[in-house]
Amino acid sequence: MSLSELGWDKQWQSAFKPYRAKGWVPARLIRESPINYGAMIAEDEEIDAILCGKLWHDAACDADLPAVGDWVAVDLGGENRPHVIRALLPRRTCFLRKMPGNSSQAQVIGANIDCVAVVTDAGTDFNLRRMERYFMLISRSKAKALVLVNKSDLYPLEQSQQAAAEISALWADAKVHVTSATRGEGLKVLKKFLRKGETLCIVGSSGVGKSTLVNQLYGDDWQWTGEVNETTGRGRHTTTSRELVLLDQGGMLIDNPGMREIQMWTDEETLRGSFADIAALATNCKYANCNHRMDDGCAIRAAVEAGELERGRYENFLNLENEIAALKKRAEKRQMAVERWAKRNSVKARNLADRIQLERDERGDIS
Ligand SMILES: Nc1nc2c(ncn2[C@@H]2O[C@H](COP(=O)(O)OP(=O)(O)OP(=O)(O)O)[C@@H](O)[C@H]2O)c(=O)[nH]1
Ligand SMILES: [Mg+2]
Ligand SMILES: [Zn+2]
């Protein structure tokens, strides 16, 4: 693989010049987590990278921070030194949406994307008012617009076609197509939006078939969809974080979580709720502050060793707990950065700090 397959071209190359001189390398971000980023560099290599403090401090809001799809300059680390993101290249396009709730903060859904595909259906998800809002966001992003009226196998063809016609009537710039992701029907149109180096960002409500579409285009199952998820036992798998995938036939896709899921994994209460058996065992641990890992007299570990609690479930619980702790740390770090920044620019910063607190309250997590 070469960088050009990731969308790298002459224009990016010239924007990158000053960073090349510093010995940094270009990378495209394919994943975000609370603590770091996944990035692709040349030669098909995937790395984990952290953000340098300066980018943290200089960002006035979340949307200024690197996001999936961004091109960045990475200072490659070594044995005991992490790879560090030193600079963010100016975005050509950026699909933003407002954070849920009353917050006025923007959230990056995909950077440097060529096209946004909104997935919907002709039944329960069909909503022209919501589609208008999507169109507003897409037109601001500078990316092209595509709408897929999916699950056509579930409805009479005329119903899907009628829905497509009504959506088309809203905005002439949008290309609208009828598809069935499970049957692989109508997906050929996507080829036009997935030429080498091009990125398609897939959005839409939860359950409309975004991941199923990605899986169809990816070939084999890249991500769980639909069926029961064995680890969490939840009824259906939902995409929990944004991710950019490269297709063998060229082009890239960004799969997104549906609206409902964005909040789920940040919430400690939900974790305890869905692992009620483990939470109950924890009350029998010897120490109240037991970390359920190496501590003496841990009732949870004892249950695993006695074969009463499935190891996979236990490990998943610990992983999720880690994620939440990392997120909390990140929020604290951000708070610190904001406070430092506040000394320089008190009014703006106060607004920002308020907004961050508001978002936290909305998510019901942390602090
Ligand atoms: N009948 C039918 N079912 C579909 C189609 N596309 C997806 N589904 C089903 O709809 C359910 C949800 O699909 P997903 O692909 O996980 O939906 P998603 O949009 O990724 O959902 P989130 O990740 O929660 O945002 C699964 O059971 C799929 O099998 C389709 O074209 N026809
Ligand atoms: Mg999904
Ligand atoms: Zn314990």
pLDDT at 204: 92
Average confidence (pLDDT) over 159-185: 94
pLDDT at 170: 82
pLDDT at 268: 64
Mean pLDDT (the chain) is 82
Ligand 1 atom closest to residue 225's alpha carbon, by position in its atom list = 16
- Residue 177 in this model has a pLDDT that exceeds 90: yes
Residue whose structure tokens are 């707990």: 321
Predicted confidence band of residue 351 (pLDDT cuts 50, 70, 90): low
- Residue 243 in this model has a pLDDT that exceeds 80: yes
Q: Using the 8-state DSSP alphabet, how is residue 209 labeled?
A: S
| Residues near ion ligand 3 (Cβ under 5 Å) | 285, 290, 292, 298, 300
Helix intervals (H) in the chain: 10-20, 53-58, 128-141, 157-170, 210-218, 268-274, 276-282, 299-305, 311-344, 346-363
**What's the rounded Cα separation, in Å, for the pair 112 and 66?**
11
Average confidence (pLDDT) over 281-292: 91
pLDDT at 255: 87
Alpha carbon of 181 to ligand 2 centroid (Å): 12
Average confidence (pLDDT) over 321-339: 69
Ligand 1, pocket-test mutation among 211, 234, 245, 262, most atoms within 8 A of CB: 211
Choice between 107 and 82, residue whose per-residue pLDDT is larger: 82
pLDDT at 270: 58
| Residues near ion ligand 2 (Cβ under 5 Å) | 210-211, 239
Percent share of the chain, pLDDT over 70: 76
| Least confident interval from 15-29, 48-62, 333-347 | 333-347
Average confidence (pLDDT) over 80-90: 95
Alpha carbon of 338 to ligand 1 centroid (Å): 40
Average confidence (pLDDT) over 206-228: 71
Choice between 164 and 328, residue whose per-residue pLDDT is larger: 164
Predicted confidence band of residue 137 (pLDDT cuts 50, 70, 90): confident
* Cβ atoms 74, 47 nearer than 8 A: yes
pLDDT at 238: 63
- Residue 349 in this model has a pLDDT that exceeds 60: no
* Cβ atoms 112, 61 nearer than 8 A: no
Long-range (24+ apart) CB contacts under 8 A made by 182-188 are 182/151, 182/153, 182/209, 182/212, 183/153, 184/216, 185/152, 185/153, 186/148, 186/152, 187/213, 187/216, 187/217
CB-defined site of ligand 1, < 6 Å: 150-151, 153-154, 180-182, 204, 206-212, 225-226, 238-239, 257-258, 261
Average confidence (pLDDT) over 272-290: 84
Average confidence (pLDDT) over 49-66: 89
| Least confident interval from 32-36, 149-153, 278-282, 316-320 | 316-320
Question: Where in the chain are the domains?
Answer: 3-88, 94-260, 264-363
Ligand 1, pocket-test mutation among 159, 212, 223, most atoms within 8 A of CB: 212
CATH of 3-88, one of 3.40.50.2000, 2.40.50.220, 2.40.50.140, 3.30.390.30: 2.40.50.140
CATH class of the domain whose range is 264-363 = mainly alpha
Predicted confidence band of residue 331 (pLDDT cuts 50, 70, 90): low
- Ligand 1: which residue has its CA nearest to atom 1? 151
Q: What residues form DSSP beta bridges with 71?
A: 28
What CATH code is assigned to 94-260? 3.40.50.300
Average confidence (pLDDT) over 129-150: 85
- Residue 364 in this model has a pLDDT that exceeds 90: no
* pTM (2 d.p.): 0.70
- Ligand 1: which residue has its CA nearest to atom 27? 226
- Residue 69 in this model has a pLDDT that exceeds 90: yes
Percent share of the chain, pLDDT over 90: 44
Alpha carbon of 316 to ligand 2 centroid (Å): 20
* Cβ atoms 66, 110 nearer than 8 A: no
- Residue 228 in this model has a pLDDT that exceeds 60: no
- Ligand 1: which residue has its CA nearest to atom 32? 151
**What's the rounded Cα separation, in Å, for the pair 148 and 181?**
10
Average confidence (pLDDT) over 137-153: 92
Predicted confidence band of residue 224 (pLDDT cuts 50, 70, 90): very low
> Which ligand is located closest to the Cα atom of residue 280?
3
| Least confident interval from 16-20, 151-155, 284-288 | 284-288
Average confidence (pLDDT) over 335-355: 65
- Residue 260 in this model has a pLDDT that exceeds 50: no
Predicted confidence band of residue 306 (pLDDT cuts 50, 70, 90): very high
